[in-house]
Every structure is written in C-alpha cells, then in structure tokens.
Structure 1
C-alpha cells in the first residue's frame, strides 16, 4: 500500500509514501491503474494504491492527502492476536474478520473515530468503512471519545443515508436520554409504516441505551404482532442477536428468553433462531424443536434444516457430557 503522484510528462506514478510493504519512496510505477484521473497533475493529492503481494497490477482507492500516511500506517498495523475469536459484524451479521482480534478492533476503532466525516473524502470513507464492519462489542471504545451532537448531525444529513446504520449504532454508545427519545420516535414511525429501513440499527442502538428492559417491547411489538412484515421481524431478530453475541448491555440469557418467546409466538419461523441458540450452546429448546418437526409446523426447507442441525448439535453436546 503506497501513496503515489503523477510524474510530469509521463504516464507513470512516483511513490511519495509507503504505508505497508517493501516498496521505497521514489520508486516509479510504470504501469499505473487504468482508472486514474487523466487530468491529474503534479501537485495533486496522491493516489492511495494497493495490490496483492503476488500481483503486479495496482488498484487505486482514490486520492488522499499525504499528511494521512502515518494514520494509514497505524491503521494497517493493528493485528490479529492468537486465541481471540473474531465475531460477526454489524450490520450484515454475515461477515467475519479473519485478521483482527477484539483488542485489534478496539485499537482500530479508536484510530478511525477522529476521522469520521473528515474533510478529506477518502479518509472519511475509510473511517466509516472500518466502523461499519467492526464487531459490535468493540464499538464501545467510542464512549466518551466522540460527541453525540456530531453523530446526530450526520444522521440528519440525507447525503449520508448509506452511512446511517453505522452512525445509528454509534449513537447507541455515545448518546443520552435525548437520543433515546429521538430513536424511539423514529422506531415508532417505522413501526407505523412497516418500514424496515435502518431498523436493525435503530433497535440495536435503542437496546444499547435502554438495556434489557426494552427487550419486552421488542417481543410485544414485533414477535407477537401478526401484522409485522418479514423484513421487520428479521430486523428485530438481528438487533437481538448482535446484543446476545456481545453479552454485555443486554445479557445473552435475556436474548435467549426472547428467542424462546419468538419460537412460541411464531412456530413456523422457529428455525430463524436455531443457529444462534446452537452457537451459544443453549440446548434447552430441543424438546420444542423436536415437537415442531414432528408436527410438520416448519414448512420452509431452510428453517427445517436449521432445526435439524440444532437437534444434531444438541445430541452431540449431550453425548459429550455423558
């Protein structure tokens, strides 16, 4: 990873900073990426270039001021610590990190917080991207490090709509009572209109600010209400899953209770929470799941597979104990 600027009179780039790797300042890139701005001239902000160590072709991430080189070096220096298990990230909950430990992620988040919505567009995009993919439990490092008013202003900016899920999550860690009221107004409006846009982050942030006392509301308004849509139900489950995985502000046991309520309220969807319960080594739902399979209540093949997998894992766990 390097910063490089155009060479006057040639279709080449000269390295002005080395962020990571064995390249040297002054080295010439004779075959630069083809998507660079052809009007860029010497004196422009350098390009941030990356490449696979085994490949020769560079890829440009955009331009960034040279003064950010040391920040980028610190960012790429955060490393994986053997023995730490990376966890799912927000908001997709599908990605995992194979390179960073919890300690590394906390260090990384602390590094990017001051650069959120920085005046340099690429620095701001990098900072937001790291926040957005960070494991939920590590974002608590933001407490007392960032002003809630700044986060509120970003959430009020429609131009930053794509970044709102990450910033909503952040507000849950840095906000106060006024933000609780703000969040719950938005959640109530979303509930009334059946709008699931940004709903997982809003519920997740509300739970962070309100704690386990808010879980009962989620059960009543999303699990027990038969008018809720599938995206709304999935949003509520995702918010609870992230908290259950973190096992901090909302204890995992309280999330498990909510999942048991979900199984009772919506038996055909019971498989939606099977994998999470299994990942948490919770096997007391085996009797309910076995009964649901026997009665053919779960019609969806994917949900049925999840339940079968849960029961198989439960059997293995019980056999190991015996």
Structure 2
C-alpha cells in the first residue's frame, strides 16, 4: 500500500464514527485513543495491532482538548481538519494593530509593513502566559488520565497512593506523579519476586510481590503524569506452575501481607478477563499507547 493510499484509508477509517479501527467492531465498550482522540479500539490487542498504521497520524491537539467539554463538536472539527487554534476576530484585529501599521504605506513603490514593536515587557508577559497555559494543560492531562483509569470490582484496588488491577496474564499498577516529575525523580526496582517504587525519595510501594513475575518481560512508562507498570505473571493462564490451575493465578493483593486484600476466591469476572497463551510481545510492541512516554524495563532502574 502506497503512502497516499494508506493516508486515504486512514482518513476514511477516522470518519466512520465510533468503531474499532482494526477489526471494525461497534460495541459500546470502545476506547478512544487518549492522544489524538480520533480513533477507537475495542481492545488493547487491536490498538497494538493497528499502531504501525495509526502512529503516522496520531498527534495530540491541545486546543481541541481544551474545548472538548464545552464545545465537543468544534473539538471534533479541529481534529478532523488538523486545526491547532482558531483566533476570534477581535484577537486578530488586536494582533494586526500591534504587528502591522499602515504608516507611510501610500506612495511607496514596494510598501512593507513595519516590524513588530513588542517591547521587553510585552515579551515577558507573553512568555509567562504561554508557560501558565502549558502548565495548566499538563496538569489537566494528568488529572484526566488518572480519572480515566478504571479498576473493575474484585480485580484490583484503588488505594491512596496508587491503583492496581489484573487479568489472567498481567498485573497493572498506576501511580499519579506530582507536577513536574521527571524520569530522574522516579526510582523503580523490579525483580521476579519484589517491587519497589519511590518518587522523589517517597516510598509508594516496597515489598515482596504476591506471586512471582517475569521481570524481564515487565515494563513501566510515564504517560501524562502517570507512572504505569505492566507485570507479566509467571503463573498465568496457559503457563501454570506445577500443581497449579487457573484459580491459582489470581492475586489477592499487590504485595504479600497487605491488609487491604481482595476476596480469597477469584470472581467470575476474572475468568472472563483477557489473557495471553502465546509468548508475550516484545517490549516495543507492548508500548501500544500513542501518547508521549518515558519508559523502562523490569530488572533495571
């Protein structure tokens, strides 16, 4: 498929409405791409499979995100047409008066507008306003991303400092980071049986895991101010330890000895959750999110 035909196909997919871009499913449980918010997927597997095609057009639109709640139709129009900003008429007039003047334009062979006359105070105010706008957007992204992380009943817990959930193959951990947190502020130590997460020296998780994991195939990323970890269970569906069955793959808590534990028996929803029988994907393939990220792998800091 040529680049032109691929672009046409992708644009056609985006304009069909809320259906999975990979398989075409139209169920009510579709999830929207959190970066471009213009593509829909029925599962993480479909998002991973379609990512090589979607990544060329997946771009964040801060302005559309900012007006999404107040004017959803306008936001969709901006994303569809690739518009980054639309100025009001009075704002355009103000900028025209500031940047372009008509002084001595008449009678000149090659009239040229005078250069901008922004002074140092104007520049400081514009920089301060832009920095405040970007900080507000980043804070809003983190708040929205944290709120959108759902933990199904009996498949995990929402605690004060973090959330965790599970299916028959993976355990996922989410930690909301303070504003301005960088990769150097996050210290993750992960082995087959132990996990430690510290943020700016503050201990979030530290202890022996409820069960063993495949540390070399577990990953962590920082996306929109949230630390996200994916731990591959060693004893999981299709890869049972000796003498174990599917009921033994259920984790009652994230770390051993935690008083905040789930029920002893796995609920029916657990056996209906996703699982992987085949060998897990590579690290790069598992980074299915289309948002900017900082990443790491188990067994390293």
Task: Give the TM interval when normalised to the shorter protein.
Answer: under 0.3
TM-score by length of 1: 0.25
TM-score by length of 2: 0.26
The structure showing larger relative contact order (alpha-carbon pairs under 8 Å, at least 6 residues apart) is: 2
Higher helix share: 1
Larger Rg belongs to? 2
Higher strand share: 2
